[in-house]
Chains A and B, each alone.
Chain A
Amino acid sequence: MINKRAVSNIVAEIMMILVTLAVGFTLIVYLSSAAGGFVSLTNSNSNQAQLALQQYIVPMGSYISNGNLYFIFNSGPLGVQINGVYINSTIVNTCSILFNKTSYSLSHYIPPDAVVVIKCTNVKPVASLVTVSYNGGEVYAMASPS
């Protein structure tokens, strides 16, 4: 009777260890997958945020002529979402984006590697600091009367 119990205990312990290992491996696969999914989701969100932050524009020229301010830039490798224009730190609501022979109002997305013009009307003919805000940040340029 005692012998039978002893054998049963050993088998039980072995079975318990096997079951533990099986549960452990299942857990690691599940956790890895779940955490991987979470990381992947985080990465995806993070990547989207990073992609937006990686948007950058490169100014190519700016000037003021006949009461209009022109700011010419390249839209960068990822394209860019233009949100607003400030002149001497004051937001301007008279600006439009000229791209591919079409005028768009702000805010507007521009595809990659485009040479684009922002035109603002009713601007004083004095040297001004232009700030363009976009999803990746801000860019500054001086515009002088031509």
Chain B
Amino acid sequence: MQWQVHHKKSQSAIVGTIIFIIAAFIIAGVMLSLINYNQDVLTTQKNSIQVQQMASLMEKDILAYYNYTNNKIYINVSSMAYPYSYYISGISIILKNGSYMTFDQYSRVSNILNVIVKYANGNQKNYNYLPVSMNPNSSALIIINNINSNPLGISISVVNGKSIAVIPVENLQQLISSLIARGVVNVVPPTKVVYNKYFNVTFSIINMIWYQGIPPSYSNSTWSVSMYYQTLSSYVLIVGIYYYAPNITFSNVPSGYYYYYNVSNIIIPGKNYYYICYPDPPSGIILVNQNTLVNITYNCYFG
């Protein structure tokens, strides 16, 4: 009788063990699947955040402005602050007469569209279709011909992977007018990470508009750059028809992340002409932590 009782207990223990093992396997199987699912969700979330960040960077760091003259629209696209490649994928133009024009990859070749891309190595390439590939430090001049009405609003769309941003194209004349009215240029730094104990600001003259064929002949435009409680100034030197861009270097800047800005007086040398510089690239963050010399370039316009 006792033996029989013991036998039943043993069988009961075996059955319990079997149930326990099977339950463990079931739980393990479900857990594995849940882990995989969670990883998929996490990857999707990461991708979504990256797309948003990339679009935000493009909006901040790609600068575009236009000038309308002789029935042509000249759009300059500059992306010296944007450290990645991207595409110019679309153009939208609203004209004062109520009409509009659009260009995209579905428009195919257009007779009135001419995109001249200038690459960092100095090479140029012409396109008359979109999209156009842009490398870091390249710029593009977009010329649209046969425009019989003033533009009211222009914007371009730029693409990097799944990220799309729309860059409003500023009216160069209005930009110049607003800068003259303010007399101050505020500069926010580029996004690219700069390893630099010495911080060097270079002003580059890339274009000049002479008034009635006469070049500016004065040289007293002071540009000041402030960073880490230091303010340094320099001048645009004009000798005859030659222009020498100012250059400012900060030394012994402590390591760290910096927002820097530039406050510049716009001097009008004579009533017939003036000149203006404004920053390119327009925005970002700078990291100072090593001893490499870095140039930040500003574009200066003369008119």
- A/B interface sample: 29 pairs, CB < 8 A: A20-B21, A24-B22, A27-B26, A30-B29, A31-B26, A31-B33, A35-B29, A35-B30, A39-B33, A39-B36, A63-B152, A65-B99, A70-B100, A72-B100, A74-B104, A74-B157, A74-B164, A74-B166, A77-B159, A113-B105, A114-B104, A115-B90, A115-B91, A115-B102, A115-B103, A117-B100, A146-B96, A146-B98, A146-B152
Name the one of A13, A30, A72, A115 contacting B94, with C-beta atoms under 8 angstroms: A72
Q: How many residues of B contact A (CB 8 A)?
A: 46
**B29, A28: Cβ atoms closer than 8 Å:** yes
Knowing A113-B105, A114-B105 are in contact, say whether A66-B90 is a contact too (CB < 8 A): no
Docked CA distance A117–B94 (Å): 11
**B94, A77: Cβ atoms closer than 8 Å:** no
Docked CA distance A61–B21 (Å): 65
Docked CA distance A38–B30 (Å): 11
| Chain B contacts to A: CB under 8 angstroms | 14, 17-18, 21-22, 24-26, 28-30, 32-34, 36-37, 40, 44, 48, 89-92, 94, 96, 98-100, 102-107, 131, 152-153, 155, 157, 159, 161-166
Instruction: List residues of A (126-145) whose CB comes within 8 Å of B's CBs.
Output: none
Q: How many residues of A contact B (CB 8 A)?
A: 44
Considering the complex, give the chain A residue whose CB is closest to the CB of B94. Answer: A61
Residues on B with beta carbons closer than 8 Å to the beta carbon of A100: 106-107
**A115, B92: Cβ atoms closer than 8 Å:** yes
What distance in Å separates the Cβ of B105 from its nearest Cβ neighbour in chain A? 6
Residues on B with beta carbons closer than 8 Å to the beta carbon of A21: 21
Considering the complex, give the chain A residue whose CB is closest to the CB of B89. Answer: A113
Docked CA distance A28–B161 (Å): 40
**A61, B37: Cβ atoms closer than 8 Å:** no
Docked CA distance A70–B166 (Å): 17
